[in-house]
Amino acid sequence: MRILALVPGGISDQILFFPTIDNLKGRYPEAEIDVVVEPRATAAYRVSKSVDKVISFDFKDTNGPADWGNLLGILRDREYDMAMSLGRRFGVGFLLWLTGIPVRIGFDTGVSKLFLSNPVALNLDQYAAQMYHDLVKGLGITDPCPDLTINVPKADIDWAEAEQQRLGIKDSGYVLIHGGASKLSQKLGVDKIYPVLQWQQIIKDLQTRQPNIPVVIVKGPDDAEFIESFLAVCPDLKAIAPTDIGKLAAMIAGANLMLCTNSAPMHLAVAVGTYTIALFGPSDPNKLLPKNGRSFSIKSRTGQIADIPPSDVLEKIWKG
């Protein structure tokens, strides 16, 4: 059996779709599961347990007939038995219909639903992983949504342990901070960066109360300027620069506490079970964090992440 999933969006969307893929793999253990994702999101599948092949296609690009034709040819050649799509645009639904895949599952919204064999009701008022998991109802599956989990390669765990040793934090534990944002979110003006001077107040309090617990900041590929400003005001911080999502996940898994904004690393922290406090601006945390007793949110009262007082973060840290 061959299963195809079309998953537009960034790395966060892919990670939130993992429980659905894992459920399908559990139900059909002999099945090959392939995904079609945007180039910016292919890295997510380094930590997937259930995907066999990742096909790159930029859904948001100005694709011509030749681009769609090439993708159609690839999908037809693979002879899939079933397809599942998160995309609700006309082009995605039409593409699935053209593939000739007999079972085509997606949400029953927009014009694309006309091309589906098994449409599923869309419920936006829930945790996103659960919303995506509703798609399995198109196969008559009523299993509860599995917990979000990932598979970190051993080489990445080894790298993280070597980094912890290098930084002198292997035995002490550490607080990990991820305060940056992807290049795309910065370009779109999405409010995900908490001001450096407010982070400084939080770090100072942490270091005063728990001087034996180091604070480590994550250097992402798209936030060099932010990290430079961060280290300018907090020069005694330790810094790491994971080169891929597996190494980042391994470092998150080793942390005592993860402090972050709404981002892909937040979802990784959920997946590895690290105690996490995430800051939210305009986004609804109820749709992006599960109620699991280890993942907590602080939502800006104004919708602007910069308006979250450091005192609110510290209260959440110390009072739980």
CA 277 – CA 66 distance, rounded (Å): 45
Confidence category of residue 90, pLDDT binned at 50, 70, 90: confident
| Whole-number pLDDT of residue 187 | 62
Residues 6 or more apart in contact with residue 269 via CB below 8 angstroms: 252, 258, 260, 276, 295
Taking the mean position of all CA atoms in its chain, how far away is CA 196? 23
What is the tens place of the pLDDT at every residue in 160-211?
A: 999 999 999 999 999 999 987 655 555 655 567 899 999 999 999 999 999 9
What domains are defined for the chain?
2-139 (3.40.50.2000), 154-319 (3.40.50.2000)
Per cent of the chain over pLDDT 90 is 80
What is the tens place of the pLDDT at every residue in 104-157?
A: 999 998 877 889 999 999 999 999 999 999 999 999 999 999 999 999 999 999
Structure tokens at 263: 């981002």
